Amino acid sequence: PAFKRMLMADGSDQVKRIAHDIHYEFEMHEKQVAIGGMSFASLDVKLPEKQLFYSMIGTYANTDAVIGEFFELLSLLTQMASIRTIVWRLAEEVKKTQRRVNALDKMVIPQTLETKTYIENVLEEKERENVFVLKALKKRNDSKAEE
């Protein structure tokens, strides 16, 4: 709102002239943020102190308000950009995890169940063979004992 009032009061040429005269140096630092056991890089912007780069003559009070709003907007934009980047990276990790879950659900678990069933069937067959062999041996021993 203050920018619109300034633009209407000062005119676009005056606003451009003032904007070209303003030069701030912003310091950005990378910081690590841990979310959900994962570490993400985030930007932290240190805003400089507000200075007067224009003459008070030929400008209005709302010029200062616009610069104040710009500082607030810049702070919010850097926070939102960091949050957006973190959310995007988390979404990528969720996609990777979902692919792994699908691979387990559709391939690994069914194959493991098939292998388990096969092993159980083979063991049951071996057990039946062993029972048959033991019965045959017992009959032979019984027949030898009777002789």
| Packing angle, helices 2-10 and 61-103, rounded to 10 | 140
**What pLDDT was estimated at residue 51?**
64
pLDDT band at residue 17 under the 50/70/90 scheme: low
CB under 8 Å to 78, separation ≥6 — which residues? Answer: 28, 43, 44, 45
Model pLDDT, residue 95: 95
pLDDT of amino acid 98 = 95
pLDDT band at residue 120 using 50, 70 and 90 as cut-offs: very high
Residue with the two structure tokens 């002789």: 147
87-102 confidence digits (pLDDT tens): 898 899 899 999 999 9
The phi and psi torsions of 28 (rounded to 5 degrees) equal: -115, 135
User: What pLDDT was estimated at residue 67?
Assistant: 74
Q: In whole angstroms, give the CA distance from residue 36 to residue 56.
A: 51
Q: What is the pLDDT of residue 85?
A: 86
Closest CA relative to residue 7, chosen from 85, 47, 65: 65
Cβ-based neighbour number of residue 72 at 10 Å: 10
Confidence class for position 30, pLDDT limits 50, 70, 90: confident
